[in-house]
Amino acid sequence: MGEVRFVDTGLTLRQGAPTRTINRPKVMLNKTALFVPFLAAALCSLANAAANSLESARTAYDEGRFLEAAEMAEALGTAQGFTLANLSLVAHGYYIADDDEKQGLYERAMALGEKAVDLDPDDAESALRWGHAMGRYTQTIGSLKAFRQGYAGRIREAFEKAVSIDPDMAEAHISLGAWHVEGIKAGGFMARATLGASNRTGANHYERGLELDPDSKVGVYEYARGLLMLSERKNRERAREMFVNALEIPPANAADRLLDEKIARKIAKLDG
């Protein structure tokens, strides 16, 4: 009896016709090869979604929707997301929240800041924002309690880490300058003796920060505040001039616009 044989599969069919051989291309299915493009496409899609979500959170922050920005950024579960959420909560607490809301916001910001640093210990921005969150929190508990709980040292470490990771990060220098000056203002001899706070070191960091970014609104503002803490009598006129200069720097976002309101009040107080 004749048979039909498919060479690629070895399938044999018997029938009455003479034997015929049919050549078909042999198909080799590599499951991994088929899966990789789909996996790559899925990962790319997830990355794009995360990037879009982070950008949306940044837009919310820039527009002054700080709590919404914090929720969106935290949901990403990344170091960048936690850092932005931290920044947003601190901004809301500092500029908008009622006094009885501030501590809770700063506690949440601190926790997110610590998560960001744990996920990416080599990121200067994460270290800087964590230090800011701790600094704002200490303002709600008082300098003595903050000192006893070790926050002063931890804040300094966070700022110094940011500077060590990125020596050209202007805001990190400004923040470290503020730590030295405000530490002495609050702790006096104790801050000098136990923490190494120094007015001269603080002034040097202020100067370096503004050298790196002379158009930093927050940098000029913080330096002017620092001058008043060093000596309002001696630095009154220079501080006022710096406040005016800060007010003339175009705001980059809603936080800057809210800072302008604080600066205007500072000038009015000095003029009064």
Give pLDDT tens digits along the chain (272 positions). 444 333 343 433 344 444 444 454 444 445 555 555 555 555 555 555 566 799 999 999 999 999 999 999 999 999 999 999 999 999 999 999 999 999 999 999 999 999 999 999 999 999 999 999 999 999 999 888 888 899 999 999 999 999 999 999 999 999 999 999 887 766 555 555 556 678 899 999 999 999 999 999 999 999 999 999 989 999 999 999 999 999 999 999 999 999 999 999 999 999 98
Token pair listed for 241: 């001039």
Asked if residue 64 lies in contact with residue 254, where contact means CB atoms within 8 angstroms, the answer is yes
Asked if residue 118 lies in contact with residue 131, where contact means CB atoms within 8 angstroms, the answer is no
Kindly report whether the global pTM for this prediction surpasses the value 0.85: no
C-alpha–C-alpha distance, residues 159 and 125, integer Å:
10
C-alpha–C-alpha distance, residues 32 and 26, integer Å:
18
DSSP labels for 221-271?
A: HHHHHHHHHH-HHHHHHHHHHHHHHHHHSPP-SHHHHHHHHHHHHHHHHHH
pLDDT at 182: 85
pLDDT at 183: 75
Cα end-to-end distance, the chain, whole Å = 116
pLDDT at 196: 67
Task: State the residue for tokens 């997110």.
Answer: 112
CA 79 to chain centre: 8
